[in-house]
């Protein structure tokens, strides 16, 4: 009997997670055992978390997310300071992010000190057609910021005309996509942790370039 697409995706995630857990165990790491505790009679935290991750894999329409969900399951087994509630939150976050958002997070989580000139700043109004691909990537970046996965060092001067209830000297955070400044944006500690656990450093370089850097990076100079 042929497997359904959902069953195939779940199987792929299980294989990736099992292989990684096995490799880490063989290298001397010890998986945490506190997740074996029961959250309800007959149901452990481990079973609950595994079901959440496998459900995310089964329901995603983006095949490219599958390996990274598998890495996340494996990582949870070794993150001793990660509570079950926090792990559930990370799984839920990974479930709702698009593949391109994962690539944006991968790019901004691996930034190097002193590389600000590689990235664009906020968009000018004339560069802000809402139907453009660049605007769409900036919108993804703003969403990651609002989720607490990114942090920015750039404050915006608020004015009564642009900020509800604002004071002319008050500072505020980006409110719309064009106000995001990739140049001044990096992964937060939570974003870095999620990127590490999902092994987003393995996102293909081609995807980083075509999906993200071609829109938030500075154009190459001749």
What's the distance, Cα to Cα, between the start and end of the chain in Å?
Answer: 57
Distance between CA 108 and CA 200 in Å, rounded?
A: 11
Q: What is the sign of the dihedral through the CA atoms of 45, 47, 48 and 50?
A: positive
Q: What is the pLDDT of residue 36?
A: 76
Q: What is the pLDDT of residue 188?
A: 96
Q: Is the pLDDT of residue 211 over 60?
A: yes
Residue (of 188, 215, 218, 204) closest to 103 by Cα position: 204
Rounded mean pLDDT of 72-100?
93
Q: What is the pLDDT of residue 161?
A: 47
What percent of the chain lies above the pLDDT cut of 90? 49
* Confidence tier at 155 by pLDDT (50, 70, 90): low
Q: Is the pLDDT of residue 170 over 70?
A: no
Q: What is the pLDDT of residue 136?
A: 93
Of 103 and 10, the structure prediction assigns the larger pLDDT to 103
Q: Is the pLDDT of residue 156 over 70?
A: no
Q: What is the pLDDT of residue 154?
A: 64
Q: Is the pLDDT of residue 28 over 50?
A: yes
Distance between CA 203 and CA 200 in Å, rounded?
A: 5
Q: What is the pLDDT of residue 202?
A: 97
């Amino acid at each position: 009997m042929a497997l359904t697409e959902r069953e195939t995706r779940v199987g792929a995630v299980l294989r990736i997670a099992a292989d990684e857990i096995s490799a880490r165990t063989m290298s001397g790491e010890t998986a945490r055992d506190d997740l074996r505790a029961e959250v309800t009679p007959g149901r452990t935290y481990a079973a609950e978390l595994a079901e959440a991750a496998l459900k995310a894999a089964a329901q995603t329409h983006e095949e490219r997310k599958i390996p990274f969900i598998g890495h996340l399951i494996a990582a949870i087994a070794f993150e001793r300071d990660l509570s079950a509630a926090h792990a559930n939150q990370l799984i839920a976050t990974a479930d709702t992010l698009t593949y391109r958002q994962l690539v944006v997070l991968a790019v901004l989580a691996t930034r190097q000190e002193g590389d600000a000139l590689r990235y664009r700043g906020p968009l000018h109004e004339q560069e802000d057609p809402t139907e453009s691909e660049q605007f769409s990537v900036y919108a993804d970046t703003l969403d990651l910021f609002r989720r607490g996965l990114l942090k920015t060092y750039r404050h915006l001067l608020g004015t009564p005309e642009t900020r509800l209830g604002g004071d002319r000297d008050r500072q505020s955070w980006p409110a719309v996509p064009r106000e995001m400044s990739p140049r001044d944006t990096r992964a937060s500690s939570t974003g870095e942790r999620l990127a590490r656990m999902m092994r987003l450093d393995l996102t293909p370089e081609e995807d980083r370039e075509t999906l993200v850097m071609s829109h938030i990076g500075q154009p190459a100079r001749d």
